[in-house]
Structure 1
Amino acid sequence: MTLKELVVAYFQYPAIIAYLLLAVVGIGLWTWRPAPLLQTAASIGIAVLIYPLAWYSLHRWVLHSKWMWKHKWLAGTWKRIHYDHHQDPNHLEILFGALHTTLPTIVIATAPLGYLIGGFGGAAIATATGLLTTCFYEFCHCIQHLAYKPKNKLILMMKQRHMAHHFHDETGNFGITNYFWDRLFGTLYDRVSERSKSPTVFNLGYTPEVAETYPYVADLSGGVATGHPVERLRAKMKG
């Protein structure tokens, strides 16, 4: 895949179009009731700074939690937003988060801080910044999962770390573009040789044994798939 093909594929996803349109709305609201320049800059800055921490926290303690599958009313959400993604990391239809889960998260992470700094205008521009930052994250996420090898060494390093998270040990490398919080909390690893391969890298701990007690995700998935996704695909094709 070329960079041009990746960009074309990226902009075909409705979620990206929605983020961009809503960012324009946010900028429009700021234009209508702008915060002073200093507060505007501070609102943008805090949104950019808080985003990596918000993502790390959400990714580690919510998406990789072991409590969502225990509740019938949360199991479907957990399955859609992360379990399915780890079951088959290269399944592009579920690469992007569902808007009904991502949009509230973006607003909650950015708007209140923006409002505290610059009132209505600060909240609007902080939310718009969060939406545009999400677009950047999702573009990098595309690079990490699609058959494209980046030439930039930094982006290549990001891809290698994220692929290790999906195919070697899911208990580390929670960042997408920023690994400061991984480093701070001791979850960063650069080489797969630093850790043993996790037996739950594809199921996030939702094993057939767990499904016997908490069957909600299994019921929605038609069972619990085990093994490497490529091996499962080959077995399915042979069968």
Structure 2
Amino acid sequence: MVAKDFFVDLEKPLVFQVGHLGEAYDEWVHQPIISREGPRFFENEFLEFLTRTVWWAIPAIWLPVVWWFVSAAVQMHVPPSDIAISMVGGIFVWTLLEYSLHRFLFHIKTTGYWGNTLHYLIHGCHHKHPMDGYRLVFPPAATAILLVPLWNLIKFITPPSVAPALFGGGLLGYVMYDCTHYYLHHGKPEKGISTQLKRFHMNHHFRVQDKGFGITSSFWDKVFGTLPPKSVEKKNR
């Protein structure tokens, strides 16, 4: 049963508290706390460890996997031009997946205990503590679990000569996404596209949290009409 006047104690592990917020969860999680100090999620040390990831672990772990899949395509004597096209296709597919997950899963509205709890673990924690440097990238263990069915799906729907490079390209797109995401929060771009992307993403966090779902680009926001209002962009210049 949801407590009517439940308050989250920020000094205690948060994950099993937030579910009790019920309908108040959405408002609470979108009131950010600006601090580089991340909250504690679990009392259990091992579970807590699994939720914390340094950004450089993403390229260190997954770029060799990308190389392995591209090498598999080379060993199958797939022409270099076809490998390149498949990889670009994989990156393009990733950008749509990036946008779709962020818009339709990460920003789903929840009110029940387990819905709130799962949402907080998946994405809510990032909006509540947007500067937590150890929870800006996806934990590799969770990524590995998701990659297995995705690889099987790609093998099922694409020719054998296309699947390895397409999957490698998609995984490369993911690495670019997670590294970009970390940089947008902790980097200090001075000009150019990186400055525009940072402004776009900070608008999503601090001004219009139901718009601007792209991370590596605003392309799909333009396609699907989820760009923030121009008045918001002007205020942030």
TM-score range, shorter chain: 0.5 to 0.7
Determine the structure 2 residue equivalent to 1:133.
Answer: 173
Determine the structure 1 residue equivalent to 2:225.
Answer: 186
User: Quick one: structure 1 residues 92 and 11, their matched pair in 2 at CA, closer, same or farther if it must change by over 3 Å?
Assistant: closer
SS at match of 2:86: helix
8 A contact 1:114–1:125 mirrored in 2: no
Aligned residues: 183
8 A contact 2:138–2:178 mirrored in 1: no
Determine the structure 2 residue equivalent to 1:89.
Answer: 130
Determine the structure 2 residue equivalent to 1:56.
Answer: 99
RMSD after superposition: 3.2
2:217 matches 1:174: no
Alignment of 1:109-188 (within 5 A): 112=153, 116-119=157-160, 121-146=161-186, 148-188=187-227
1:5-62 per-residue CA deviation (whole Å, 9 max, x = no partner) reads: xxxxx98632332111211222232233343455433322321221211111100000
Determine the structure 2 residue equivalent to 1:6.
Answer: none
Q: Distance in 2 between matches of 1:138 and 1:27?
A: 20
Identity between Structure 1 and Structure 2 (%): 26
Gaps of 5+ in 1: 1-9, 197-239
Q: Distance in 2 between matches of 1:21 and 1:34?
A: 20
User: Quick one: structure 1 residues 90 and 21, their matched pair in 2 at CA, closer, same or farther if it must change by over 3 Å?
Assistant: same
Normalising by structure 2, report the TM-score: 0.64
Determine the structure 1 residue equivalent to 2:121.
Answer: 80
Per the TM alignment, residue 79 of structure 1 is displaced from its structure 2 partner at its CA by 2.0
Normalising by structure 1, report the TM-score: 0.64
1:113-147 per-residue CA deviation (whole Å, 9 max, x = no partner) reads: 5764541x42111121122222222222122100x
User: Quick one: structure 1 residues 104 and 183, their matched pair in 2 at CA, closer, same or farther if it must change by over 3 Å?
Assistant: farther
User: Quick one: structure 1 residues 104 and 129, their matched pair in 2 at CA, closer, same or farther if it must change by over 3 Å?
Assistant: farther
